[in-house]
Structure 1
Amino acid sequence: LETARQIMAAAEAKGVRIHLPSDVVAADRFAADAATQIVSSHAIPSGWMGLDVGPETIAAYSAVVRDAKTLLWNGPLGVFELEAFERGTRQLGEAIAAATEAGTLFSLVGGGDSVAAVEQFGLSERVSYVSTGGGAMLEYLEGRVLPGIQAVYDAE
């Protein structure tokens, strides 16, 4: 928890807002037919688990997407593999695709689960770029030298 507080403080100091879910779809068990309820992200009942973001969060995140110019998507919002918990990931993907198609957003999707989600929902052709090397993509964006790229440079 202390690390999270430090990250939040560092972001705030740089004028960066970290968006956290305000509500979630909670389930009494990890199953497609689980009992569910939408609750505050701060009030998940004991014995229950948050398996997707709720409608308030989806609306808030979609508004962020509409205002963004560049977006890196790495990781689904819920257990999209189960229909009961796919709504957050699907609707965020739709918002990203719509903004990309409108020409107002450059969207980069990376990482195995994110790539699987955009493919499952038929969105892979509607975003700017899909990277199947999520970990390597993130390292490259961090400015790290990738071993495979370094090998090419060393061979020259």
Structure 2
Amino acid sequence: MSTVHDALLRHFADLRDGTHGDHARSRADKEALFHRAVALLDPHARRALAEADAELLLGEGLIEATGVRRDPDGGLHARWTLSWPRQRRAGIPPITLHAFYGAGFHHPHLRGGTVGDWPLNVFTPGQAAAELPTLRAIAAADAHNLVFLRDYRIIPASAPQAR
């Protein structure tokens, strides 16, 4: 079973080895992998948004996907959005999942439209256990961001001797 840490270690190996995926080094090869990654993510992104629509928006939402597009600066991006009437009337952005490969980036990344804080409303052991996927994602995201404050070598499992 793959974990969020497996993806993070692949990310750090890319940084360490100067490659991406199947040893892609050129921008063209990395862009081809980005196109494939977006296609692979598509059903899962749609599922996550459909679940949010059903559970939070009571089926009022509209899921849209851009497919891969080129930015004016030469980067690539793809977005999946979930909008609904009240959100549109309020003039605020939709729920967004965003895959992007910036022009100056070594490899692609994922982000949300506004994600920074997550609510902590835990009152029972079961509710605490249900937060494990969120806690894993937050810890992995923090480790990812800490690498960019220095470099991949701050993570022992990504250092050359760890392989």
TM-score class, shorter-chain normalisation, is under 0.3
Normalised to the residue count of structure 2, the TM-score between the two structures is: 0.25
Structure 1 or 2: larger helix share?
A: 2
> Could you state the TM-score of these two structures normalised by the residue count of structure 1?
0.26
